[in-house]
Structure 1
Protein backbone atom coordinates (compact mmCIF):
# COMPACT_ATOMS: atom_id res chain seq x y z
CA UNK A 1 0.00 0.00 0.00
CA UNK A 2 1.43 3.36 -1.04
CA UNK A 3 1.96 5.85 1.79
CA UNK A 4 0.02 9.10 1.61
CA UNK A 5 1.92 12.06 0.20
CA UNK A 6 3.03 14.54 2.88
CA UNK A 7 0.88 17.59 3.52
CA UNK A 8 4.06 19.64 4.04
CA UNK A 9 7.58 18.91 2.82
CA UNK A 10 10.73 20.97 3.25
CA UNK A 11 13.75 19.96 1.15
CA UNK A 12 17.24 21.30 1.93
CA UNK A 13 15.93 24.69 3.08
CA UNK A 14 18.48 27.40 3.80
CA UNK A 15 17.87 30.96 4.94
CA UNK A 16 20.53 33.66 5.04
CA UNK A 17 19.93 37.13 6.46
CA UNK A 18 22.19 40.01 5.45
CA UNK A 19 25.08 40.03 3.01
CA UNK A 20 28.86 39.83 2.98
CA UNK A 21 30.57 39.69 6.35
CA UNK A 22 27.29 40.55 8.07
CA UNK A 23 25.51 37.52 6.60
CA UNK A 24 23.93 35.12 9.07
CA UNK A 25 22.77 31.67 8.01
CA UNK A 26 19.69 30.96 10.12
CA UNK A 27 18.84 27.66 8.42
CA UNK A 28 21.46 25.24 7.08
CA UNK A 29 19.74 22.61 4.95
CA UNK A 30 16.51 21.80 6.79
CA UNK A 31 14.55 18.80 5.52
CA UNK A 32 11.44 17.23 7.04
CA UNK A 33 7.88 16.35 6.11
CA UNK A 34 4.55 16.51 7.94
CA UNK A 35 1.57 14.25 7.29
CA UNK A 36 -2.00 15.54 7.50
CA UNK A 37 -3.30 15.14 11.04
CA UNK A 38 0.10 15.18 12.71
CA UNK A 39 0.89 17.21 15.86
CA UNK A 40 4.53 18.30 15.81
CA UNK A 41 6.43 20.20 18.49
CA UNK A 42 9.50 22.11 17.29
CA UNK A 43 12.06 22.66 20.04
CA UNK A 44 15.54 24.10 20.37
CA UNK A 45 17.52 26.91 21.99
CA UNK A 46 17.10 30.56 21.03
CA UNK A 47 18.64 31.24 17.64
CA UNK A 48 18.34 27.64 16.49
CA UNK A 49 16.02 28.50 13.58
CA UNK A 50 12.64 27.51 15.03
CA UNK A 51 10.86 30.80 14.39
CA UNK A 52 12.49 31.18 10.97
CA UNK A 53 11.04 27.83 9.92
CA UNK A 54 7.61 28.78 11.30
CA UNK A 55 7.64 32.04 9.33
CA UNK A 56 8.49 30.06 6.21
CA UNK A 57 5.77 27.47 6.82
CA UNK A 58 3.34 30.33 7.37
CA UNK A 59 4.25 31.92 4.01
CA UNK A 60 5.53 34.99 5.85
CA UNK A 61 9.04 34.48 4.47
CA UNK A 62 10.74 32.55 1.68
CA UNK A 63 13.87 30.36 1.70
CA UNK A 64 17.20 31.46 0.25
CA UNK A 65 17.56 28.01 -1.33
CA UNK A 66 15.63 24.76 -1.14
CA UNK A 67 12.05 23.70 -1.74
CA UNK A 68 8.83 24.13 0.28
CA UNK A 69 5.94 21.92 -0.85
CA UNK A 70 2.35 22.16 0.43
CA UNK A 71 -0.23 19.69 -0.91
CA UNK A 72 2.11 18.96 -3.81
CA UNK A 73 2.45 22.65 -4.71
CA UNK A 74 5.85 24.34 -4.77
CA UNK A 75 5.26 27.23 -2.35
CA UNK A 76 8.66 28.89 -2.67
CA UNK A 77 7.93 29.55 -6.36
CA UNK A 78 4.57 31.25 -5.73
CA UNK A 79 4.08 35.00 -6.03
CA UNK A 80 3.49 37.12 -2.94
CA UNK A 81 -0.24 37.24 -3.70
CA UNK A 82 -0.42 33.48 -4.23
CA UNK A 83 1.30 32.89 -0.89
CA UNK A 84 -1.16 35.29 0.76
CA UNK A 85 -4.07 33.27 -0.63
CA UNK A 86 -2.53 30.03 0.62
CA UNK A 87 -2.02 31.61 4.04
CA UNK A 88 -5.60 32.90 4.15
CA UNK A 89 -7.28 29.65 3.15
CA UNK A 90 -5.07 26.89 4.54
CA UNK A 91 -3.25 28.24 7.60
CA UNK A 92 -4.24 29.42 11.07
CA UNK A 93 -1.88 31.24 13.43
CA UNK A 94 -1.62 31.33 17.23
CA UNK A 95 1.08 33.47 18.85
CA UNK A 96 2.49 33.97 22.33
CA UNK A 97 0.83 37.39 22.43
CA UNK A 98 -2.90 37.07 21.95
CA UNK A 99 -3.06 39.97 19.43
CA UNK A 100 -6.74 40.67 20.10
CA UNK A 101 -8.41 43.98 19.32
CA UNK A 102 -8.96 45.55 22.75
CA UNK A 103 -12.22 47.40 22.13
CA UNK A 104 -14.09 44.66 20.29
CA UNK A 105 -15.88 41.59 21.61
CA UNK A 106 -14.56 38.05 21.50
CA UNK A 107 -17.08 37.33 18.74
CA UNK A 108 -15.91 40.28 16.63
CA UNK A 109 -12.27 39.29 17.12
CA UNK A 110 -13.02 35.78 15.87
CA UNK A 111 -14.98 37.15 12.89
CA UNK A 112 -12.02 39.24 11.71
CA UNK A 113 -10.43 36.73 9.25
CA UNK A 114 -13.84 36.23 7.63
CA UNK A 115 -14.31 39.97 7.36
CA UNK A 116 -11.05 40.14 5.41
CA UNK A 117 -12.44 37.45 3.13
CA UNK A 118 -15.51 39.57 2.47
CA UNK A 119 -18.01 37.06 3.84
CA UNK A 120 -21.52 38.32 4.72
CA UNK A 121 -22.21 39.33 8.32
CA UNK A 122 -24.65 36.50 9.03
CA UNK A 123 -22.19 33.85 7.82
CA UNK A 124 -19.34 35.48 9.79
CA UNK A 125 -21.43 35.47 12.95
CA UNK A 126 -22.48 31.84 12.58
CA UNK A 127 -18.96 30.59 11.84
CA UNK A 128 -17.49 32.63 14.72
CA UNK A 129 -20.01 31.18 17.17
CA UNK A 130 -19.13 27.66 16.00
CA UNK A 131 -15.43 28.42 16.56
CA UNK A 132 -16.11 29.90 20.01
CA UNK A 133 -18.13 26.80 20.88
CA UNK A 134 -15.17 24.63 19.86
CA UNK A 135 -13.01 26.41 22.45
CA UNK A 136 -15.73 26.52 25.10
CA UNK A 137 -16.38 30.27 25.09
CA UNK A 138 -19.87 30.83 23.68
CA UNK A 139 -20.96 32.37 26.99
CA UNK A 140 -18.18 34.94 26.67
CA UNK A 141 -18.86 35.98 23.06
CA UNK A 142 -19.87 39.54 23.99
CA UNK A 143 -16.97 40.16 26.38
CA UNK A 144 -13.94 42.29 25.46
CA UNK A 145 -10.40 40.99 26.05
CA UNK A 146 -10.10 43.09 29.22
CA UNK A 147 -13.00 41.08 30.67
CA UNK A 148 -11.30 37.74 29.97
CA UNK A 149 -8.50 35.85 31.69
CA UNK A 150 -5.23 35.16 29.87
CA UNK A 151 -6.31 31.60 29.17
CA UNK A 152 -9.66 32.79 27.82
CA UNK A 153 -7.93 35.36 25.60
CA UNK A 154 -5.73 32.64 24.12
CA UNK A 155 -8.85 30.53 23.52
CA UNK A 156 -10.34 33.45 21.59
CA UNK A 157 -7.11 33.67 19.59
CA UNK A 158 -7.36 29.95 18.80
CA UNK A 159 -11.00 30.34 17.78
CA UNK A 160 -9.94 33.16 15.45
CA UNK A 161 -7.25 30.86 14.00
CA UNK A 162 -9.68 27.98 13.31
CA UNK A 163 -12.72 30.00 12.15
CA UNK A 164 -11.52 29.72 8.53
CA UNK A 165 -11.27 25.91 8.91
CA UNK A 166 -7.54 25.78 8.16
CA UNK A 167 -5.67 22.61 7.30
CA UNK A 168 -2.75 23.61 9.50
CA UNK A 169 -2.49 25.47 12.80
CA UNK A 170 0.88 27.13 13.39
CA UNK A 171 1.39 27.92 17.07
CA UNK A 172 4.45 29.91 18.18
CA UNK A 173 4.95 29.58 21.96
CA UNK A 174 1.15 29.52 22.52
CA UNK A 175 1.51 29.10 26.29
CA UNK A 176 4.43 31.51 26.77
CA UNK A 177 2.31 34.15 28.55
CA UNK A 178 0.22 31.75 30.62
CA UNK A 179 0.47 30.12 34.04
CA UNK A 180 0.70 26.35 34.41
CA UNK A 181 -3.05 25.72 34.76
CA UNK A 182 -3.97 27.80 31.72
CA UNK A 183 -1.06 26.36 29.74
CA UNK A 184 -2.37 22.85 30.30
CA UNK A 185 -5.89 23.90 29.30
CA UNK A 186 -4.60 25.40 26.05
CA UNK A 187 -2.55 22.31 25.26
CA UNK A 188 -5.55 20.06 25.97
CA UNK A 189 -7.53 22.23 23.56
CA UNK A 190 -4.91 22.01 20.81
CA UNK A 191 -4.67 18.24 21.28
CA UNK A 192 -8.46 17.93 21.06
CA UNK A 193 -8.66 20.04 17.90
CA UNK A 194 -5.96 17.85 16.39
CA UNK A 195 -7.66 14.63 17.49
CA UNK A 196 -11.31 15.48 16.81
CA UNK A 197 -11.14 17.91 13.88
CA UNK A 198 -8.02 16.51 12.21
CA UNK A 199 -6.25 19.89 12.21
CA UNK A 200 -2.51 19.47 11.65
CA UNK A 201 -0.64 21.33 14.42
CA UNK A 202 2.95 22.59 14.31
CA UNK A 203 4.00 24.23 17.55
CA UNK A 204 7.18 25.96 18.63
CA UNK A 205 7.82 25.63 22.37
CA UNK A 206 10.70 25.83 24.84
CA UNK A 207 8.77 23.84 27.43
CA UNK A 208 9.08 20.04 27.61
CA UNK A 209 5.79 19.82 29.53
CA UNK A 210 3.98 21.44 26.61
CA UNK A 211 5.86 19.42 23.97
CA UNK A 212 4.65 16.29 25.77
CA UNK A 213 1.23 16.79 24.16
CA UNK A 214 2.64 16.47 20.62
CA UNK A 215 2.87 13.23 18.68
CA UNK A 216 6.34 14.05 17.39
CA UNK A 217 9.24 16.31 18.37
CA UNK A 218 11.72 17.95 15.99
CA UNK A 219 14.74 19.48 17.72
CA UNK A 220 16.74 22.24 16.08
CA UNK A 221 20.34 23.17 16.87
CA UNK A 222 22.28 25.86 15.00
CA UNK A 223 19.89 25.98 12.05
CA UNK A 224 19.82 22.23 11.51
CA UNK A 225 17.54 19.34 12.48
CA UNK A 226 19.32 17.62 15.36
CA UNK A 227 16.62 14.99 15.90
CA UNK A 228 13.16 14.09 14.62
CA UNK A 229 11.31 11.31 16.41
CA UNK A 230 7.92 10.15 17.70
CA UNK A 231 7.15 11.62 21.09
CA UNK A 232 6.91 8.79 23.58
CA UNK A 233 5.85 11.30 26.25
CA UNK A 234 2.52 11.89 24.50
CA UNK A 235 0.68 9.14 26.33
CA UNK A 236 2.08 10.43 29.61
CA UNK A 237 0.91 14.02 29.02
CA UNK A 238 -0.97 15.29 32.08
CA UNK A 239 -4.73 15.04 31.90
CA UNK A 240 -6.75 18.23 32.09
CA UNK A 241 -7.06 19.33 35.67
CA UNK A 242 -4.29 17.02 36.88
CA UNK A 243 -1.89 18.30 39.50
Structure 2
Protein backbone atom coordinates (compact mmCIF):
# COMPACT_ATOMS: atom_id res chain seq x y z
CA UNK A 1 0.00 0.00 0.00
CA UNK A 2 1.48 3.31 -1.02
CA UNK A 3 1.53 6.44 1.08
CA UNK A 4 0.95 10.01 -0.11
CA UNK A 5 4.02 12.25 -0.39
CA UNK A 6 4.79 13.87 2.93
CA UNK A 7 2.57 11.46 4.91
CA UNK A 8 3.60 11.18 8.56
CA UNK A 9 5.11 7.74 9.25
CA UNK A 10 3.24 5.41 11.56
CA UNK A 11 6.57 4.62 13.25
CA UNK A 12 9.68 6.79 13.44
CA UNK A 13 12.97 5.67 14.96
CA UNK A 14 15.66 8.31 15.42
CA UNK A 15 19.12 7.49 16.73
CA UNK A 16 17.96 4.35 18.54
CA UNK A 17 20.67 2.56 20.48
CA UNK A 18 20.57 -0.50 22.72
CA UNK A 19 23.37 -1.46 25.09
CA UNK A 20 23.40 -4.64 27.15
CA UNK A 21 25.63 -4.82 30.22
CA UNK A 22 28.01 -2.24 31.63
CA UNK A 23 31.67 -1.31 31.56
CA UNK A 24 34.10 -3.64 29.84
CA UNK A 25 31.40 -6.27 29.23
CA UNK A 26 28.92 -3.88 27.60
CA UNK A 27 27.63 -4.86 24.18
CA UNK A 28 26.01 -2.33 21.85
CA UNK A 29 23.40 -4.21 19.83
CA UNK A 30 21.98 -1.11 18.10
CA UNK A 31 24.23 1.80 17.18
CA UNK A 32 21.95 4.63 16.12
CA UNK A 33 19.08 3.30 14.04
CA UNK A 34 16.96 5.66 11.93
CA UNK A 35 13.89 4.04 10.39
CA UNK A 36 10.44 5.15 9.19
CA UNK A 37 7.52 2.75 8.77
CA UNK A 38 4.35 3.93 7.02
CA UNK A 39 0.87 2.57 7.53
CA UNK A 40 0.19 -0.35 5.18
CA UNK A 41 3.80 -1.34 4.47
CA UNK A 42 5.11 -4.89 4.61
CA UNK A 43 8.72 -4.64 5.73
CA UNK A 44 11.12 -7.58 5.87
CA UNK A 45 13.96 -7.03 8.34
CA UNK A 46 17.00 -9.11 7.47
CA UNK A 47 20.62 -9.48 8.48
CA UNK A 48 23.17 -12.01 9.75
CA UNK A 49 23.15 -13.35 13.30
CA UNK A 50 24.14 -10.60 15.73
CA UNK A 51 23.27 -7.81 13.29
CA UNK A 52 20.67 -6.27 15.59
CA UNK A 53 17.53 -7.22 13.65
CA UNK A 54 15.86 -9.07 16.54
CA UNK A 55 16.82 -6.31 18.98
CA UNK A 56 15.27 -3.79 16.62
CA UNK A 57 12.10 -5.89 16.39
CA UNK A 58 11.83 -6.03 20.18
CA UNK A 59 12.17 -2.26 20.33
CA UNK A 60 9.62 -1.75 17.54
CA UNK A 61 7.12 -3.96 19.37
CA UNK A 62 7.68 -2.20 22.72
CA UNK A 63 8.96 -5.47 24.19
CA UNK A 64 12.21 -3.71 25.12
CA UNK A 65 13.20 -0.10 25.67
CA UNK A 66 16.08 1.57 23.81
CA UNK A 67 19.09 2.87 25.70
CA UNK A 68 18.85 6.18 23.86
CA UNK A 69 17.11 7.77 20.90
CA UNK A 70 13.53 8.57 19.99
CA UNK A 71 10.66 6.23 19.09
CA UNK A 72 7.49 7.91 17.84
CA UNK A 73 4.35 5.86 17.27
CA UNK A 74 1.54 7.84 15.66
CA UNK A 75 3.52 10.93 16.64
CA UNK A 76 3.75 9.99 20.35
CA UNK A 77 7.13 9.53 22.04
CA UNK A 78 6.65 6.01 23.37
CA UNK A 79 10.24 5.69 24.56
CA UNK A 80 9.39 7.92 27.50
CA UNK A 81 6.23 6.04 28.55
CA UNK A 82 6.07 4.00 31.74
CA UNK A 83 6.03 0.19 31.60
CA UNK A 84 2.26 0.08 32.14
CA UNK A 85 1.67 2.72 29.46
CA UNK A 86 3.83 0.82 26.97
CA UNK A 87 1.88 -2.35 27.77
CA UNK A 88 -1.41 -0.59 27.03
CA UNK A 89 -0.08 0.69 23.69
CA UNK A 90 1.23 -2.78 22.86
CA UNK A 91 -2.10 -4.47 23.62
CA UNK A 92 -4.07 -1.90 21.66
CA UNK A 93 -1.97 -1.48 18.51
CA UNK A 94 0.37 -4.48 18.11
CA UNK A 95 -0.03 -8.17 17.30
CA UNK A 96 2.80 -10.70 17.56
CA UNK A 97 3.64 -13.92 15.74
CA UNK A 98 6.62 -16.01 16.85
CA UNK A 99 8.61 -18.83 15.32
CA UNK A 100 7.57 -21.24 18.08
CA UNK A 101 3.80 -20.54 17.80
CA UNK A 102 3.52 -20.07 21.64
CA UNK A 103 0.09 -21.69 21.85
CA UNK A 104 -1.37 -23.15 25.05
CA UNK A 105 -1.11 -26.90 24.47
CA UNK A 106 -4.28 -28.08 26.24
CA UNK A 107 -6.42 -25.20 25.02
CA UNK A 108 -8.54 -25.14 21.87
CA UNK A 109 -7.76 -22.95 18.90
CA UNK A 110 -10.78 -20.81 19.78
CA UNK A 111 -9.60 -20.29 23.37
CA UNK A 112 -6.03 -19.56 22.25
CA UNK A 113 -7.28 -16.83 19.93
CA UNK A 114 -9.56 -15.40 22.63
CA UNK A 115 -6.68 -14.92 25.08
CA UNK A 116 -5.72 -11.32 24.09
CA UNK A 117 -9.39 -10.37 24.38
CA UNK A 118 -9.51 -11.81 27.90
CA UNK A 119 -6.61 -9.56 28.85
CA UNK A 120 -8.50 -6.64 27.32
CA UNK A 121 -11.59 -7.40 29.37
CA UNK A 122 -13.96 -8.16 26.50
CA UNK A 123 -17.19 -10.01 27.43
CA UNK A 124 -17.36 -13.73 26.62
CA UNK A 125 -19.90 -13.47 23.80
CA UNK A 126 -17.88 -10.80 22.01
CA UNK A 127 -14.68 -12.81 22.49
CA UNK A 128 -16.22 -15.87 20.87
CA UNK A 129 -17.52 -13.87 17.94
CA UNK A 130 -14.22 -12.05 17.30
CA UNK A 131 -12.13 -15.23 17.68
CA UNK A 132 -14.37 -17.15 15.26
CA UNK A 133 -14.00 -14.33 12.73
CA UNK A 134 -10.20 -14.30 13.08
CA UNK A 135 -9.98 -18.07 12.63
CA UNK A 136 -12.16 -17.87 9.54
CA UNK A 137 -9.93 -15.09 8.17
CA UNK A 138 -6.89 -17.40 8.36
CA UNK A 139 -8.71 -20.35 6.77
CA UNK A 140 -9.48 -22.35 9.93
CA UNK A 141 -13.25 -22.25 10.08
CA UNK A 142 -14.34 -25.61 11.49
CA UNK A 143 -11.13 -26.11 13.46
CA UNK A 144 -12.13 -23.96 16.44
CA UNK A 145 -12.29 -26.81 18.98
CA UNK A 146 -9.06 -28.57 18.04
CA UNK A 147 -6.05 -28.32 20.35
CA UNK A 148 -2.57 -27.54 18.97
CA UNK A 149 -1.62 -31.21 19.18
CA UNK A 150 -4.41 -32.01 16.74
CA UNK A 151 -3.18 -29.44 14.18
CA UNK A 152 -0.32 -29.40 11.69
CA UNK A 153 2.53 -26.93 12.06
CA UNK A 154 1.04 -24.69 9.40
CA UNK A 155 -2.35 -24.76 11.11
CA UNK A 156 -0.78 -23.94 14.47
CA UNK A 157 0.96 -20.92 12.98
CA UNK A 158 -2.32 -19.78 11.48
CA UNK A 159 -3.94 -20.03 14.91
CA UNK A 160 -1.08 -17.86 16.19
CA UNK A 161 -1.73 -15.35 13.41
CA UNK A 162 -5.46 -15.34 14.21
CA UNK A 163 -4.56 -14.62 17.85
CA UNK A 164 -2.35 -11.75 16.67
CA UNK A 165 -5.02 -10.14 14.48
CA UNK A 166 -8.09 -10.72 16.65
CA UNK A 167 -7.55 -7.38 18.40
CA UNK A 168 -7.47 -5.63 15.01
CA UNK A 169 -3.93 -4.29 15.49
CA UNK A 170 -2.36 -1.52 13.46
CA UNK A 171 0.92 -3.45 13.27
CA UNK A 172 1.63 -7.18 13.01
CA UNK A 173 5.15 -8.15 14.07
CA UNK A 174 6.32 -11.57 12.90
CA UNK A 175 9.63 -12.98 14.16
CA UNK A 176 10.81 -15.79 11.85
CA UNK A 177 7.18 -16.91 11.34
CA UNK A 178 8.16 -19.74 8.96
CA UNK A 179 11.26 -20.92 10.82
CA UNK A 180 9.66 -24.17 12.03
CA UNK A 181 7.76 -24.99 8.84
CA UNK A 182 8.49 -26.89 5.65
CA UNK A 183 8.56 -25.12 2.29
CA UNK A 184 4.89 -25.67 1.40
CA UNK A 185 3.60 -24.53 4.80
CA UNK A 186 6.00 -21.57 4.75
CA UNK A 187 4.56 -20.44 1.43
CA UNK A 188 1.02 -20.75 2.80
CA UNK A 189 1.88 -18.58 5.82
CA UNK A 190 3.60 -15.97 3.65
CA UNK A 191 0.62 -15.84 1.30
CA UNK A 192 -1.62 -15.30 4.34
CA UNK A 193 0.57 -12.45 5.62
CA UNK A 194 0.59 -10.96 2.11
CA UNK A 195 -3.21 -10.98 2.02
CA UNK A 196 -3.53 -9.47 5.48
CA UNK A 197 -1.26 -6.68 4.33
CA UNK A 198 -2.65 -6.04 0.84
CA UNK A 199 -6.33 -6.81 1.40
CA UNK A 200 -6.80 -5.64 5.00
CA UNK A 201 -4.13 -2.93 5.15
CA UNK A 202 -2.36 -4.33 8.22
CA UNK A 203 1.20 -3.05 8.55
CA UNK A 204 3.51 -6.08 8.73
CA UNK A 205 7.05 -6.07 10.14
CA UNK A 206 8.79 -9.41 9.72
CA UNK A 207 12.21 -10.63 10.79
CA UNK A 208 13.50 -13.38 8.52
CA UNK A 209 16.77 -14.82 7.27
CA UNK A 210 15.11 -16.47 4.27
CA UNK A 211 15.20 -14.51 0.99
CA UNK A 212 12.29 -16.56 -0.40
CA UNK A 213 10.09 -15.41 2.48
CA UNK A 214 11.34 -11.82 2.36
CA UNK A 215 10.30 -11.73 -1.30
CA UNK A 216 6.66 -11.28 -0.19
CA UNK A 217 7.48 -7.96 1.49
CA UNK A 218 7.09 -4.58 -0.20
CA UNK A 219 10.30 -3.28 1.37
CA UNK A 220 13.58 -4.85 2.46
CA UNK A 221 15.61 -3.48 5.38
CA UNK A 222 18.97 -5.09 6.07
CA UNK A 223 20.83 -4.73 9.37
CA UNK A 224 24.60 -5.14 9.71
CA UNK A 225 26.55 -4.55 12.95
CA UNK A 226 23.70 -2.73 14.70
CA UNK A 227 22.82 -0.25 11.96
CA UNK A 228 20.60 -0.17 8.87
CA UNK A 229 22.96 -1.02 6.02
CA UNK A 230 20.37 -1.06 3.24
CA UNK A 231 16.74 0.02 2.93
CA UNK A 232 14.98 -0.31 -0.42
CA UNK A 233 11.60 -1.10 -2.00
CA UNK A 234 11.15 -4.65 -3.25
CA UNK A 235 10.67 -4.15 -6.97
CA UNK A 236 9.98 -7.86 -7.56
CA UNK A 237 7.51 -8.55 -4.80
CA UNK A 238 6.15 -12.09 -4.79
CA UNK A 239 2.41 -12.66 -5.00
CA UNK A 240 0.27 -15.61 -3.92
CA UNK A 241 -0.18 -18.22 -6.63
CA UNK A 242 -3.54 -19.51 -5.40
CA UNK A 243 -6.81 -17.57 -5.04
CA UNK A 244 -6.65 -18.02 -1.27
CA UNK A 245 -4.47 -19.70 1.34
CA UNK A 246 -5.13 -23.43 1.20
CA UNK A 247 -5.83 -25.40 4.35
CA UNK A 248 -2.81 -27.21 5.74
CA UNK A 249 -3.02 -30.99 5.93
Q: State whether TM-score is above 0.5.
A: yes
Once residues 220 and 49 of structure 1 are traced to their aligned partners in structure 2, the CA distance between those partners, rounded to angstroms, is 6
Q: Deviations over 1:17-43 (max 9, x none)?
A: 000000000001100100000000000
Residues 1:239 and 2:241 aligned together: yes
1:201 corresponds to which residue? Answer: 204
Which residue of the other structure, out of 16, 38, 41, is the alignment partner of 2:41? 38
Q: How many residues align?
A: 240
Whether the 8 Å CA contact 1:216–1:229 is kept in 2: the answer is yes
Once residues 59 and 101 of structure 1 are traced to their aligned partners in structure 2, the CA distance between those partners, rounded to angstroms, is 23
Whether the 8 Å CA contact 1:7–1:35 is kept in 2: the answer is yes
Secondary structure of the structure 2 residue equivalent to 1:56: helix
Secondary structure of the structure 1 residue equivalent to 2:197: helix
TM-score, length-normalised on structure 1? 0.97
Q: Deviations over 1:203-229 (max 9, x none)?
A: 000000000000000000000100000
Whether the 8 Å CA contact 1:41–1:204 is kept in 2: the answer is yes
Once residues 2 and 48 of structure 1 are traced to their aligned partners in structure 2, the CA distance between those partners, rounded to angstroms, is 31
Residues 1:55 and 2:58 aligned together: yes
1:148 corresponds to which residue? Answer: 151
How far residue 233 of structure 1 moved from its aligned partner, in angstroms, is 2.5
Q: Which structure 2 residue ranges, 5 or more long, are not aligned?
A: none
Once residues 14 and 39 of structure 2 are traced to their aligned partners in structure 1, the CA distance between those partners, rounded to angstroms, is 18
Whether the 8 Å CA contact 2:110–2:128 is kept in 1: the answer is yes
Secondary structure of the structure 2 residue equivalent to 1:138: coil
Q: Once superposed, which parts of structure 1, at least 4 consecutive aligned residues long, lie more than 4 Å away?
A: none
Residues 1:7 and 2:10 aligned together: yes
How far residue 118 of structure 1 moved from its aligned partner, in angstroms, is 1.2
How far residue 138 of structure 1 moved from its aligned partner, in angstroms, is 1.1
1:26 corresponds to which residue? Answer: 29
Whether the 8 Å CA contact 1:37–1:200 is kept in 2: the answer is yes
Whether the 8 Å CA contact 1:209–1:237 is kept in 2: the answer is no
Whether the 8 Å CA contact 2:194–2:239 is kept in 1: the answer is no
Once residues 125 and 22 of structure 1 are traced to their aligned partners in structure 2, the CA distance between those partners, rounded to angstroms, is 49
CA RMSD of aligned residues (A): 1.1
Once residues 78 and 196 of structure 1 are traced to their aligned partners in structure 2, the CA distance between those partners, rounded to angstroms, is 33
1:164 corresponds to which residue? Answer: 167
